Amino acid sequence: MDITVEKADDVAVALLPLEELDASNVDELKREIAPLLQSSDKLVIDLARLRFVDSSGLGALLSCLRQLTAKGGDMKLCGMSKQVRAVFELVRLHRIFEIFPTPEEAVRAFRAPAPPSAAQAS
């Protein structure tokens, strides 16, 4: 798994190379993304390639968010396909994560003052 990372100011934008995220590759994802979680406080994960996610995939993304917020950081998501968005909404994770159409908008959101955060509304 090769996660390409770009920096936009102090925000790390990581493009997930996966088309499908399920129980078979969540462990690998967690391993590969761990250094990024260590090194960044502000992370955007671009899910543009992702076509399919299951419950373990959701769990993995949640775990990433937790690790970041535990040290005072934050994570946003962007580039969700319709199918992936549907799964997030079904389990109401769209209230936990901030989701944007493009990486630029997600990065911009880090600069603007945070709106009443959905992350606090869990």
Partner 1 sequence: MKNKSTIRALLVEDDDADALLLRQLVAEIPGIKIDLAHVGRLADAIARLAERQFDIVLLDLGLPDSKGVQTFVRLHNVDLGIPVWVLGKRDETLALELMSRGAQDYLIKSEIDPASLQRSILYGIERHRTADKRRMESSDRAKSDFLADLSHQLRTPLNSVIGFSELLVDEKVGALNPEQREYLNDILASGRHLLDLMIDVVDLTARERAARIEVAQAREREDEISSRIQQTMLIDQPPEDFPGVRIGALSVPSQRIDGDFYIFINHRNRSLDVIVGDVMGKGTPAALLAAATKSHFLKALSDLMAGSKDKQLPEPKEVAMSAHATVVRHLIDLESFVTLCYARLNMNTRTLDFVDCGHTGVLQWHAETGLCETHHGSDLPMGIREGETYDQRSVAFESGDLFLLYSDGITEARNPGGEMFGTQRLEDCIRSNAQLEAGAFVEAIRSAVFRFAESDRLSDDLTCVAIKPAPAVVRAHMEINSELKQLRCARAFVREFCRQCPEPLLDEDRMGALELAVTEAASNIIIHAYDRCANQRIYVEAEAFPGCVSITLHHTGKPFEPSPPSSLPHASRESGFGIYLIDHNVDGVRYYRDKIGRSCIALVKYCKP
Q: Which of 1, 48, 90, 114 binds partner 1 (CB under 8 A)?
A: 90
Rounded to whole angstroms, how far apart are CA atoms 108 and 68? 18
**Interaction of residue 38 with partner 1, rule CB under 8 A:** no
SS (H, E, C) 47-106: CCCCCEECHHHHHHHHHHHHHHHHCCCEEEEECCCHHHHHHHHHCCHHHCCEEECCHHHH
Which among 18-26, 38-46, 67-75, 106-114 is the span making contact with partner 1, rule CB under 8 A? 18-26
Report the residue from 83, 101, 108, 117 that binds partner 1 according to the rule CB under 8 A: 83
Residues that bind partner 1 (CB under 8 A): 20, 22-25, 52, 54-56, 58-60, 62-63, 82-83, 86-87, 90-93, 96, 122
